[in-house]
Amino acid sequence: MRITIIGSTGLTPQMFEHKALLESKGHRVQMPIFDSQAETELGLMGENKIRIQWADQVHLLWDGRSTGTILDIGMVFALAKPLKIIYLESKTIAGLVKQYAEIWNEKTY
């Protein structure tokens, strides 16, 4: 499976640990936040869109503070990609994200 991991830089160690676990199971993994070569925020968003389109599933580790992650989550919604929450700090938008992920979990598991 192709998996793109999105989330907060404050969770970098957890993101790399999750990536290693997925790769040990044979999955192909991208992490836009660390794989990007973009020089501008707009360029980064374009690259993130490509990586989210590429993915069969998107995994989220979010502390609720990264505004860029909000945009990535919007792309996940717009592209109708399955979302798996690995870590989510409880915030107002968290309920919406959980509901969205639960819909996909019901469809894919």
pLDDT, tens digit, for every residue of 52-61?
Answer: 999 999 999 9
- Is residue 41 very low, low, confident or very high in pLDDT (cuts 50, 70, 90)? confident
Torsion sign across C-alpha atoms 68, 73, 77, 81: positive
Residue (of 39, 84, 40) closest to 61 by Cα position = 84
d(CA 67, CA 103): 24
For the question of whether the overall pTM of this predicted structure is more than 0.85, the answer is: no
How do residues 76-85 score in pLDDT, each as one tens digit? 999 999 999 9
The CATH fold of domain 2-108: Rossmann fold (3.40.50)
Please report, rounded to a whole number, the percentage of residues in the chain having pLDDT higher than 90: 60
